[in-house]
Structure 1
Amino acid sequence: MKAYTFIKTGNEWYIDLPEYIAQGGHKGDLQMVEGADTMLDLIAGNNNSVVLNIDAVQFEGADVLLLTEKCDPTIGGGYYFLQTFEGQEVNINMWLCGVTEFVFEEIPGRIFIKRN
């Protein structure tokens, strides 16, 4: 399990992933869009940043993002569904881009998250 920080700039969420930039990635690739931003708005509340513990292996107290569709390699990433967060039903569909593969070295079938 690793803790990742997400930062909101204006109305846009980004994952803080300097190792991705150091390996030649672009900041625009780190933007959370297509439902992932909605999830972060919900989790962060009125805050402009939030830290999530994230892993492909289940851990205590974590909620799960379920892969519903792996995208074609030309698009990258996959579509995930978050049914509940901290006991509340949220039913959020989201697309997580190819940076997901950078983080996990694959597009995992499940991603476990917990607010830090």
Structure 2
Amino acid sequence: MKRDFRFYKVANGDWYIDLPEWKGDPEDLQMIQGADEWLYLVSSAAEVTLTIADDIIDKAEFMTLIRLGEANLGGGGNYFLERYQKRNVDLKIWLCEIVEFVFGKYPQRIYFKVN
């Protein structure tokens, strides 16, 4: 799966993913627990579009699944972004069930590049 996603920052500085097909709680679309730091890292504005895939894409960066989250603690997947633009960033990122909704699974690696 490869798809472009728009992420945007609201007035209070919180980041969200634009995912019109999501019918669950809109708060589930908020990027938190490292995902917001990831977006600050890759963007230079209040909005960024990323190509995201579960397979290698040309000139892409990637984050690696460390472990799945425990259901009683919110589930999701815990990912690690070791490097970005050839710099060590060592960023831990928690991604909620939106990842499973989009990919149908929690991929071992999530590839991304800024558009």
* TM-score scaled by length of structure 1: 0.91
C-alpha separation in 1, matches of 2:68 and 2:86 = 27
Q: How does 1:1-116 map to 2 (within 5 A)?
A: 1-9=2-10, 10-20=12-22, 24-45=23-44, 47-74=45-72, 75-116=74-115
| Residues 42-94 of structure 1: CA deviation (Å, up to 9, x unaligned) | 1112x000010000001111111100011123422110001112222211101
Q: Distance in 2 between matches of 1:98 and 1:72?
A: 12
Secondary structure in 1 aligned to 2:21? helix
Supply the AA of the counterpart residue of 2:81.
Answer: L
Identity %: 38
Structure 2 residues not aligned, in runs of 5+: none
AA of the residue aligned to 2:55: V
Matches of 2:29 and 2:75 in 1, distance apart?
A: 13
- Give the secondary structure class of the aligned counterpart of 1:41: helix
TM-score, normalising length from structure 2?
0.92
**92-101 or 66-75, which deviates more:** 66-75
Q: What CA distance in whole angstroms lies between the structure 2 residues aligned with 1:64 and 1:43?
A: 12
RMSD: 1.0
Three-state SS of the structure 1 residue aligned to 2:7 is strand
* Unpaired runs of at least 5, structure 1: none
